[in-house]
Amino acid sequence: METLSLILQLAWTFFLVGAFTFGGGYAMLSLIQTQVVVAHQWLSESAFTDIVAISQMTPGPIGINTATYVGYSVLYEATGLQWMGVVGSAAATLALMLPSFIIVLAIVHFYTKFKDSSLFEGTMGWLRPTVVGLIAAAAVILVVRVAWAGCVPAFSVVRENFVDWKSWLLLGAAFAACYWGKINPILIILAGAVLGLLLY
């Protein structure tokens, strides 16, 4: 009974996280942290940090990875049963996706219906270049860190992603292979992993 209420609380928490995070995985992490570590105290700060590190290192969206891992850990800690951990991770992951489902289906319905209207096309004409800028920002954030001292920005390279000069070569080679070489991105990622093992 206690376990059931824990599962429901976990699902409800991740439902709220899914409904109220805008702007991707990293925005989601802080919300998960305040709920799981601070509000409910299901996990310690250090356990949560480990979970985030592993979620970043494994394939898949970071928000989903974190939800899966947190769901497993919370139920496993509470019951000591591995299969309950699996139940917890399924509950957290599905609950996280549920709000998106409802909202995106409404949007896609609207999109399908109005795709060819001139008003919609006009609005998208503004939205598409904006998305180009947002994607550029996502790439820049992985490369450069900005620290503000008053009104003066200070730039530094994100060392976790760009360890040394070889990293820049890898970036250039991957871009060339994908853009001009039209090589499958999956193969390029695998090549990056192999080169990482050989070079470092």
Partner 1 sequence: MEGKKVSLLQIFGVFAKIGAFTIGGGYAMIPIIQREMSKRGWISDEELPDIVALSQSAPGVMAVNISIFAGYRLRGVAGSIAATLGSVTPSFLIILAIAAFFSAFRDNPLVERAFRGIRPVVVALILVPMVNMAKKACTTWWKWLLAAAALVLVALLNVSPIYILLVVIVLGFSVSYYSGKWKR
Residues 13-72 that bind partner 1 (CB under 8 A): 18-28, 50, 53-65, 68-69, 72
Contacts of 88 (CB under 8 A, 6+ apart): 7, 10, 71, 72, 73, 74, 75, 76
* Residue 80 binds to partner 1 (criterion: CB under 8 A): no
Number of residues that bind partner 1 (CB under 8 A): 104
Q: Is 138 in the site for partner 1 (CB under 8 A)?
A: yes
User: CA nearest 10: which of 102, 58, 78?
Assistant: 78
- Of 1 and 194, which has the nearer Cβ to partner 1? 194
Measured CA to CA in angstroms, residue 78 lies from 13, 43, 183 at distances of 17, 10, 47
Which of residues 1 and 184 has its CB atom nearest to partner 1 in the complex? 184
H or E stretch covering 153: strand 152-157
* 36 neighbors 42 (Cβ within 8 angstroms): yes
Q: How far apart are CA 138 and CA 156, in angstroms?
A: 16
* Rounded least distance, CB 145 to partner 1, Å: 10
Please pick, from the candidates 5, 112, 116, 154, the single residue that binds partner 1 as defined by CB under 8 A: 112
Q: Are 71 and 89 in contact (CB under 8 A)?
A: yes
- Residue 100: CA count within 13 A, CB half-sphere: 14
Segment near partner 1 (CB under 8 A), from 1-9, 37-45, 135-143?
Answer: 135-143
Q: Does the protein bind partner 1 through residue 99 (CB under 8 A)?
A: yes
* Nearest CB to partner 1, comparing residues 4 and 23: 23
Unique residue bearing structure tokens 């399908």: 112
Which span sits near partner 1 by CB under 8 A: 1-9, 36-44, 89-97? 89-97
Give the closest residue to 31 by CA, choosing from 76, 75, 62, 72: 62
Cβ proximity to partner 1, 37 vs 76, nearer residue: 76
Q: How far is the CB of 131 from partner 1 (least distance, A)?
A: 5
Q: How far is the CB of 4 from partner 1 (least distance, A)?
A: 21
Supply the minimum distance, in Å, between the C-beta of residue 71 and partner 1. 9
Whether the Cβ atoms of residue 172 and residue 143 lie closer than 8 Å to each other:
no
Part of the chain binding partner 1 (CB under 8 A), chosen from 3-11, 36-44, 179-187:
179-187
Question: Could you tell me the smallest distance in angstroms from the CB atom of residue 193 to partner 1?
Answer: 4
